[in-house]
Structure 1
Amino acid sequence: MAKGVHAVDKDKFIEAYNKWASGEVTITKATEIAGMSYPTFHKYVGILITGGKFPDGLFKD
């Protein structure tokens, strides 16, 4: 796992992103669903949207 990366539940992250992107929830609520802070959620949404590479070990197995 990359230094400083805390593993998160991939399904919860995707659920949070989908609900936020569809306008179903605010970004604040999406961060709660994903279990991460606003800056962290925002960073990983950026990676998701641009097709970037997530850090190794980000998602729990």
Structure 2
Amino acid sequence: MGLFKHVANGIISVIISVGITVALADEEDGPWGLGEVALSVAITAFLSGFFTSYFAK
């Protein structure tokens, strides 16, 4: 049951972070594409949400 809670917190972090990033990003700004930026934000947000939940108890 504990692992499900940590994964759920990671997924919630992904939804919030990627949603805000995509909504506020300018497609023409910078050398990176929006898909690459969204993927990197998704990975870091999941890991941040997961491990914060895991270690905060």
Give the shorter-chain TM-score range: 0.3 to 0.5
TM-score by length of 2: 0.33
- Higher relative contact order structure (alpha carbons within 8 Å, sequence separation ≥ 6): 2
Larger helix percent:
2
TM-score (ref. length: structure 1):
0.31
Which structure's CA Rg is the greater one?
2
